[in-house]
Each structure stands twice: as C-alpha cells, then as structure tokens.
Amino acid sequence: MRAIVLNGVNLDQLGKRDPEHYAGVTLSELEKRIYEWANELECSVRCRQTNSEGEFVEWIHDAAEWADGVIVNPGAWTHYSWAIHDALELVSGPIVEVHLSDVEKREEWRKLSVLSDLVAAKIVGKGPDGYREALEFLCKQ
C-alpha cells in the first residue's frame, strides 16, 4: 500500500493553535508519528502540507498517478473547495478524510464537507490517532 497524507491550510501552525481542538502536537511531530505507524503497518507513506490551494490540487493530481490511497485533511478548504473536490475525483483508490478536532461538535460551518460524496471514510475528533486509524483503514483495502 502506497499512501499519501495531504494536510492543508493552517496545519503548519499545529502546536500554536488551540490544543483543546488540535491536540497540542506540531506538524513535525504528527508526521513523525505517521511515518512510524506506516512502518509498523508495513505500508509506504508520503506526508505533505501546504497553504496554497493550487499546490494542494497539484499534489492530488500527482497522487492520482501513483498512490493506492489518499488521506486528506484540507483544513478550512474542506468546507468550500470544489477545486479540491474535483481533483479528488481523479483518485481511483480510497480516500479518507481526517480532522484532528471533532468538526461535528464545533461551529455550524465546520460540519459541511464538500468532499463527503468522495470519501470511503471520515475520521474526526481523534487527534493524531485519527491518522493512524486512516492508515489502518487504507492498509485493509
């Protein structure tokens, strides 16, 4: 299993953002855990983060060519980026949407995901462990 983890806008600010919602982990710490989990699960993973929506879309286009599965946390783009939605339509393998916080119990606007019709699974509110659950899900496919 070859997977890519795509983290979007503002996720480079983990560790500075509200630890109640974002688990107090930095992006670097999160990625280290993801690589360790992938090693334990005997799958290959690549992690990327950007604050540029266009770059995020380009990475999805690239992943559509080689990745067996995609884990995506677009951040706020989740709620309105039809460009990301359309790019993810090109992915043939399973897509897992992950959010560190429980977006279902936060502001009303966070409950909307324009990706919901494309994802095989959605994991929310489990902090960094949500990424492990997403990797486990992909490895079982």
Phi first, then psi: give them for residue 83, nearest 5 degrees.
Answer: -65, -40
Task: Reduce the DSSP state of residue 28 to 3 states and report it.
Answer: helix
- Find the distance separating the first CA and the last CA of the chain, reported in whole Å: 9
Active site residue 131: no
Note the Cα 1 to chain centre separation in Å.
16
| Catalytic residue from among 22, 80, 85, 131 | 22
Active site residue 22: yes
Question: Strand 121-124's sheet: what is its strand order?
Answer: 44-49, 2-7, 69-73, 95-99, 121-124
| Catalytic residue from among 35, 61, 99, 131 | 99
Tokens of 116: 């919901």
d(CA 135, CA 118): 17
Handedness of CA 19, 21, 25, 28 (dihedral sign): negative
Which positions are catalytic? Answer: 22, 99
